[in-house]
Structure 1
Amino acid sequence: MKFFLQCLQLLPLLVIFTLESLLKRFIPKKRKSVTGEIVLITGAGHGIGRLTAYEFAKRKSKLVLWDINKHGIEDTAAECRRLGAKAHAFVVDCSNREDIYSSAKKVKEEIGDVSILVNNAGVVYTSDLFATQDPQIEKTFEVNVLAHFWTAKAFLPAMMKNNHGHIVTVASAAGHIGVPFLLAYCSSKFAAVGFHKALTEELAALERTGVKTTCLCPNFINTGFFKNPSTDLGPTLEPEEVVDRLMNGILTEQKMIFIPSSISFLTVVEKILPERFLAFLKRKVNVRFDAVIGYKTKGQ
């Protein structure tokens, strides 16, 4: 009862902050400069990571590019240099903690303190629980979430010391809404979203308000990550569109980016609508992609 009364006392603040939030939607947000910032991007050898590197290169950031694919990361670095930025390529296995730590040590010794960290590397296995091999499940978590802990532990101390920096978590809409035949992927992305939210609160509790956080949660992207993806939420996203939204979110210090924005609506209604209606709604969303099904019923 006491807690309920305390909540009622907060209603005036709720009204004020709601009006403030609505007003801010009509005021263009000031974009910060990232010129000269040391930006580390994992999974920068292709897709979203590569295009994000190009955008930072155009803004004259100093790029530190990680990927397990040597050819891909060198191509990205070469294009960043052509765009006028300094770029350093490292072959790093983001599923290996010791590789991350040793590579981070080289970065700090040879280049300097990273001030913007983009945890973009990811893996996915489109299969049901039984067709997903144990090593695949382990690798999904190692790359999609555990690597975020190791890179943050390596580079966050300098950001906190200077009270300046930015941690970017590339998650997924699947980090908010469960999807069949993506059990390991969804679980890892839910964890990545949780990492972002908890880290944001921890930085606030430690009064490191100069260290910003951003989390990207897009729908299917046309990068070949999924085979034949589709959903009635809208067409498969083009990588350029996603990176444009991501860069805008980073430069305006937006905490959560949903693409399309309708995903944020689904995350809200999932908590308040009846379960049977939610089942109907999810059928209407109609998420589809090619997947391997390993489960066999008796008699098959």
Structure 2
Amino acid sequence: MGKGTRLSGATLLVTGGGSGLGRRLALGAARRGSRVVIWDVDAAAGEAVRDEIRAVGAQAEAHAVDVTDREAVKGAAVGTGPVDVLVNNAGVVSGQRLLDATEEAIQRTMDVNVMALYWVTRAFLGGMAQRGHGTVVTVASAAGMVGVARQTDYSASKFAAFGFTESLRAELRADHTGVNTLVVCPYYINTGMFDGVQTRWPRLLPILEEEDVAAEVLDAIEAGRRKLVLPPLVNLLPVLRILPVGVFDRLMDVLGVNRTMDHFTGRSGSRAGEPIG
């Protein structure tokens, strides 16, 4: 484990914070005493979450930012100021076969899920390193640990997100910056983004609830963890690659991993505005 970041009194920025897991992370961090900054390409969604947080007396602000736009990111970072925790959460998925996805959709997946990691992290990392503390969180996916059918662009982008965080961690440790990194690799989360996905063994590979994942991510930030994989069985999937290819393929068939997207009807977004309970 690395050096954790206490959320009480910290400034936490979450990209894609207007919906889904990002919204839950924003609300949860506010409850723990953080000043929360929400970046979302949907101004109304970000402002709605900001207002939810302010309604309970906590600090929050929202900025409409397209994280794929380098100049927009730089400008928004100046307006935001220093942060203690950066959560790279914004993400999109097409859920289509390679030959069915449009070129524009594939490019958008890579721009949001991969390139934005560089632009947003670069905007805040220097300040963290100068202050000698902070945490950079990257929300990757179980799809970043083992490739899944009908997700060639999404899986590739999440493999890249995992590698980005791992390499960044090595760099920060070598430079003795005191900045921690956390990569989060959950199985499917019940946000609406993956509506229609099916799991053959729900007790082993369940569809996760966003509030549960958010709580575990916030706990991991404070504990200084390096990696969070949910559920734990997902840790075993990459290990299966040491088996002969035919055996690996058969096990993936038994687990039903490559059939999860057969009835996919999801979208990029979530149930923003639902009661949080």
What is the TM-score normalised by the length of structure 1?
Answer: 0.83
The code of the aligned residue for 1:221 comes to: I
After superposition, the CA RMSD in angstroms is 1.8
Q: Are 1:225 and 2:193 an aligned pair? A: yes
Q: Determine if contact 2:67/2:120 at 8 Å carries over to the other structure.
A: no
Aligned to 1:249: 220
Structure 1 alignment gaps of length 5 or more: 1-20, 22-28, 293-300
| Equivalent in 52, 55, 65 of residue 92 of structure 1 | 65
The verdict on how the C-alpha distance between 1:102 and 1:31 changes in structure 2, with shifts beyond 3 A counting, is: closer
Per the TM alignment, residue 31 of structure 1 is displaced from its structure 2 partner at its CA by 7.1
* Higher relative contact order structure (alpha carbons within 8 Å, sequence separation ≥ 6): 2
Q: Are 1:49 and 2:49 an aligned pair? A: no
Q: Are 1:278 and 2:223 an aligned pair? A: no
Q: Per-residue displacement from partner, 1:106-136 (whole Å, max 9, x unpaired)?
A: 212xxxx111100000000010111111111
Aligned to 2:272: none
| Secondary structure of residue in 2 paired with 1:227 | coil
The code of the aligned residue for 2:240 comes to: V
| Secondary structure of residue in 2 paired with 1:40 | strand
Q: Determine if contact 1:168/1:213 at 8 Å carries over to the other structure.
A: yes
The verdict on how the C-alpha distance between 1:152 and 1:180 changes in structure 2, with shifts beyond 3 A counting, is: same
What is the TM-score normalised by the length of structure 2?
Answer: 0.89
Per the TM alignment, residue 291 of structure 1 is displaced from its structure 2 partner at its CA by 5.0
Per the TM alignment, residue 236 of structure 1 is displaced from its structure 2 partner at its CA by 1.0
After the TM superposition, list the runs of 4 or more consecutive aligned residues in structure 1 that deviate by more than 6 angstroms: none
Identity, % of aligned positions = 38
Question: How many aligned positions are there?
Answer: 259
Aligned to 1:144: 113
Per the TM alignment, residue 30 of structure 1 is displaced from its structure 2 partner at its CA by 10
Matches within 5 A, 1:85-164: 85-108=58-81, 113-164=82-133
Q: Are 1:258 and 2:226 an aligned pair? A: no
Q: Determine if contact 1:39/1:117 at 8 Å carries over to the other structure.
A: yes
Q: Determine if contact 1:174/1:185 at 8 Å carries over to the other structure.
A: yes
Q: Determine if contact 1:57/1:84 at 8 Å carries over to the other structure.
A: no
Aligned to 1:188: 157
The code of the aligned residue for 1:144 comes to: N
Alpha-carbon distance between aligned partners in 2 of 1:211 and 1:54, rounded to the nearest angstrom = 24
Per the TM alignment, residue 269 of structure 1 is displaced from its structure 2 partner at its CA by 2.7
The code of the aligned residue for 1:248 comes to: D
| Secondary structure of residue in 1 paired with 2:220 | helix
Aligned to 1:82: 55
Aligned to 1:207: 176
| Secondary structure of residue in 1 paired with 2:237 | helix
The code of the aligned residue for 2:137 comes to: V
Larger Cα Rg: Structure 1 or Structure 2? 1
Q: Determine if contact 1:173/1:219 at 8 Å carries over to the other structure.
A: yes
Bigger Cα displacement from structure 2, 80-89 vs 154-163: 80-89
Q: Determine if contact 1:176/1:267 at 8 Å carries over to the other structure.
A: yes
Alpha-carbon distance between aligned partners in 2 of 1:204 and 1:31, rounded to the nearest angstrom = 14
Aligned to 1:178: 147
Alpha-carbon distance between aligned partners in 2 of 1:224 and 1:134, rounded to the nearest angstrom = 24
